[in-house]
Amino acid sequence: MSDIERELESELHRILDPVSAMSTIPLRRQPMRRGALRTVLGGAGAALSLKLLSGVAVAAAAVTVAGAATTGSINPVTWGQQVSEHVAECKAKLADGQHGIGDCVSSFANQHGQAVASEARHHGQGNGNGNENSNGSGSSNAHGNNSNANPHAKDKKSQKDPGASTDQEPTDPPIESSVNIPPQR
Amino acid sequence: MQSIDDPLEVKTQVEEYTPGSEADFERLYRNTYRRILGTLITLVRDRAVAEDCTQETYERAFRRWKDWRPESSAEAWLHRIAINVAISDHRHQRLRQAGELVRRLGRPAPGPDPAALAERSDLVQALKKLPTKQAAALVLRHFHGYSNREIAAALAIPEQTVASRLAAARKQLQAVLGR
């Protein structure tokens, strides 16, 4: 071993032996995991997406169940078509000069309501009341609240004139009763 | 129970580690930290940088821990990573020095770090001026006591390359120190 090697060795030991003898070792620095942020965001995003999807699914299920309870069919179009057809029939049955299809539609609604009553009650009283209310609404609509649906709407405007309406009302007792009944709401 | 204060004792003990095991890596860290730090102190400009480079070494090693092969020495593997970290630090330091020179044009340079002065000697300063790979070969040979063959295995280079690096390093040291 040359002099330079011996000197190098002794100098290295002089400087580095205290390092080797140090009593404490610092804690190892934890590496920043590369995917940590992505994992956190991904996890939160995934959870949020799951919650949103769950919410949408629950809402869709609720609408479907409520619709089925109301119409007796899972297909919401079914009940709408039935109602439309029945309203048209009721209108066709009206004699000239008669107004209001409330009773006619009400009877149909009651039949349907009884048919799905058990299921409707199962899903809450509100649906049952909704059927009841729809009967009233049908009567009201027949009296001109919905001018688009009722071909006699123009006549009803004239019926709002107290003088013109008094002659016709006695011929249609159900209309009279429905007109006089204040809205439940 | 081993004493980790004696580097030679640690070196001669056959430590077994399982690649990918975090507990084993922690044990490796405790067993080798001082020796890796010692190597880096001679390769980088001061102790604070050496400590930072040591942590960087273990971070890099931990990322590749599952790929480490138990057939090779874990400490030699760590030394190879440490030398690469020191080389990276030298490159970064040169960039930093260029930036600092531009920034402090017209101002006097700050004085030397008092803590660093305590560890300074002409020989170690000359060692730090050597190319990192040559200095690392000297430290592994003359401080850690590795043979040329072990250094070759640690650095994944031919044994003849180790010999030539050691010879070149000694020659340059003699020239710098005037001996």
Q: Which of B75, B143, B166, B171 would you mutate first to test chain A, the one with the most A CBs within 10 A?
A: B143
Q: Which CATH architecture has domain B7-105?
A: Orthogonal Bundle (1.10)
- Closest CB to A19 among B29, B41, B173: B41
Q: Whose CA is closest to A29, among B83, B42, B19, B29? A: B29
Burial group, residue A12, by CB count within 10 angstroms (0-12, 13-18, 19+): buried
pLDDT for A115 = 64
Cβ neighbours for B90, distance < 8 A, ≥ 6 positions apart: B44, B132
- Closest CB to A25 among B6, B33, B138: B33
Supply the mean pLDDT for chain B. 83
Taking CB atoms and an 8 Å limit, are A20 and B121 in contact across chains? Answer: no
How confident is residue A172, by pLDDT bands cut at 50, 70 and 90? low
> Is some CB atom of chain B closer than 8 A to the CB atom of A31?
yes
The ipTM (two decimal places) reads 0.74
- Closest CB to B38 among A11, A20, A29: A20
Cα–Cα distance, B46 to B65 (Å, whole number): 28
CA angle in degrees (0–180, nearest 5) for A178-A89-A117: 65
pLDDT tens digits, residue range B104-123?
655 555 555 544 544 567 88
Length of chain B as a residue count: 179
Cα–Cα distance, A1 to A4 (Å, whole number): 8
Cα–Cα distance, B133 to B128 (Å, whole number): 11
How confident is residue A66, by pLDDT bands cut at 50, 70 and 90? low
- Closest CB to A19 among B26, B37, B174: B37
* Domain B114-174 CATH assignment equals 3.40.309.10: no
Residue/partner pairs of A5-11 with CB below 8 Å, 24 or more apart: A5/B142, A5/B170, A7/B123, A8/B123, A8/B127, A8/B138, A8/B142, A8/B173, A9/B142, A9/B143, A11/B121, A11/B123, A11/B124
Contact predicate B34/B4, CB 8 Å: yes
Contact predicate A74/A119, CB 8 Å: no
Domain boundaries, chain B: 7-105, 114-174
Model confidence, pTM: 0.51
> Looking at per-residue confidence, does A85 or B97 come out higher?
A85
Q: What is the CA radius of gyration of chain A?
A: 40
Contact predicate A128/A171, CB 8 Å: no
pLDDT tens digits, residue range B7-35?
444 444 567 899 999 999 999 999 999 99
Does this chain's domain B7-105 share its CATH topology with B114-174?
no
Cα–Cα distance, B27 to B33 (Å, whole number): 10
How confident is residue B61, by pLDDT bands cut at 50, 70 and 90? very high
Find the distance separating the first CA and the last CA of chain A, reported in whole Å.
109
Length of chain A as a residue count: 185
DSSP A123: T
Residue of B nearest to A17 (CA): B38
Cα–Cα distance, B170 to B27 (Å, whole number): 35
Instruction: At B14, list the tokens.
Output: 């056959």
Q: Which of B46, B75, B121, B142 would you mutate first to test chain A, the one with the most A CBs within 10 A?
A: B142
